[in-house]
A and B are shown apart, each in its own frame.
Chain A
Amino acid sequence: MKFWEETKTIFKNTGMHFRTGVSYMLPVILIGGVAGSLAVLGGTEIADGTIWKILKDIGEIGLHYFVPVMAAYTAYSICDNPGIAPGFIVGILAQQIDTGYLGALLGGILVGYVTYMLLKVQLPSMLQSTWGFMAPVFSTILVGLFLFYVVGPPIAALMAFLTDFLTNLGEGGSGILGAVMGFLGGIDYGGPFSKTQSTFATAVMDIDLFVPLGICGAIVTVPPLGMCLATFLRPKLYTKTEKEYAKSSWLYSIIGGFTEIVIPLAAGDLWRVTVATAIGSTVAGIIAGYFLLELSTPVLGVAQWFFYDKPLIFVLSVVIGSITVALVANLLKSMSNRDIAQLEREEEEEMD
């Protein structure tokens, strides 16, 4: 059965389709976030016709329409170009019936799948080329109706519940949220778990929540900065290559600001480093969450500094988180019998 095989392949790769959607969505949020933040310079009461008003409008467009863009490119990931238009329309519909991000995600996957399957239908050659234009029309209507009548209402109720719940978390609740996000962000260095928490953080901007993004921004540089610090504190526990890497990468982690920089420092001793970064990143997340740190624009590194509502809390969480990583990593490493001299010999052999 080819039909079932293809269905299985498509849904087995749901994660990849979703990530493709996110990868096209990020620039939209970024444009919206930066333009919106610039508009703040114009003061609280912005008059029509001023440049600040235009910046504000651009910002709002970006922060509103990232949802359909994500749906469109999730569908594109499944069935190439014919998926884009249905994805856009289904994504906008999902927003209009208050199902937000979740509805758009589901709609994007479904409409991509249905379009793909409809396009596989074999017709007499005279009709086939027309079918190429008509299949996306049918898939959009089909999935649109399904979304509106069947899955829309429960998802809208769920979204309303989530919005209410997340908005009223308070300090303790946000601290717990920070702990969970910090843990996820600290265990796989930009892999699926980290991406889950960062995607969640950007997704809830749709319901005007900015604390999760604040947490996400605070934890992202903790693993690389912490491990660089660890290398400086107890150089004896690290190989020559690791030390050189730390020297060249600490500044880069501050400026560029992404977790992946830590990988070369983790790869040689994955378990111990992962435990250390998970703990440190959790600590940073708790601090950022508890003090309700808000970040309004999803940018990385130095650029973030301009968009935090409480820069001091940001610095505090990064510093304390990094110190925790360094101390835990060095403690664990000093208890291990990692033979640095042996590892350095192997490194030299690899160079040749």
Chain B
Amino acid sequence: MKIALVTACLAGVAHSKMAAMALKKEAKKRGHEIVVEEQGGHKIPIKLSQDQIDGADVVIIAKMVKIAGQSRFEGKPVLDVSVNKAVRNPSSIMDQAEELLN
């Protein structure tokens, strides 16, 4: 399946990056395609394109602060989780994402 992932943390230096890495690794292991947008205080995020969002089967949002542009994902199945959980337990989040589709 195709996943669009948005991660967001307080300063945009540590947790958002680690959560993205953990979930990317988990997705690769299970043979899913994944595109990532990292958000956080001190940087300009590389935004997901509209095509990437449209093409995704499921959207995962791993956050500890409000994400910018939540409305882009209206009408998509969205899984909302904490960024800490994504760092520590990526496989359970991937399970949840798979369940969301079935």
A residues in contact (CB < 8 Å) with B: 16-17, 19-20, 22-24, 26-27, 76-77, 190-191, 195, 256, 258, 260-261, 263, 267
Q: What's the least CB distance linking B70 to chain A, in Å?
A: 9
> Does A195 contact B10, Cβ atoms closer than 8 Å?
yes
Task: Report the separation of the CA atoms of residues A20 and B65 in the bound assembly, to the nearest whole angstrom.
Answer: 5
Chain B residue numbers with a CB within 8 Å of A16 are: 63-66
> Does B66 contact A260, Cβ atoms closer than 8 Å?
no
Task: Report the separation of the CA atoms of residues A22 and B8 in the bound assembly, to the nearest whole angstrom.
Answer: 13
Return the chain A residue nearest B63 by Cβ.
Answer: A16
Task: Report the separation of the CA atoms of residues A27 and B13 in the bound assembly, to the nearest whole angstrom.
Answer: 13
Q: A22-B10, A26-B41, A27-B41 are in contact. Are A260 and B18 (CB under 8 A)?
A: yes
Q: What's the least CB distance linking A93 to chain B, in Å?
A: 23
Q: What's the least CB distance linking B97 to chain A, in Å?
A: 20
B11 within 8 A of A: yes
Task: Report the separation of the CA atoms of residues A260 and B88 in the bound assembly, to the nearest whole angstrom.
Answer: 12
> Does B18 contact A77, Cβ atoms closer than 8 Å?
no
B1 within 8 A of A: no
> Does B66 contact A258, Cβ atoms closer than 8 Å?
no
> Does A263 contact B18, Cβ atoms closer than 8 Å?
yes
> Does A258 contact B14, Cβ atoms closer than 8 Å?
yes
Instruction: Give 1 or 0 for each of B8-30: 1 = CB within 8 Å of chain A CB.
Output: 01111111001000000000000
Identify the interface centre among A256, A260, A261, A267: most chain B CB within 10 Å of its CB.
Answer: A260
Closest 3 CB pairs of A and B: A260-B14, A20-B65, A77-B66
Q: What's the least CB distance linking A277 to chain B, in Å?
A: 16
Task: Report the separation of the CA atoms of residues A56 and B88 in the bound assembly, to the nearest whole angstrom.
Answer: 43
> Does A20 contact B84, Cβ atoms closer than 8 Å?
no
Q: What's the least CB distance linking B100 to chain A, in Å?
A: 20
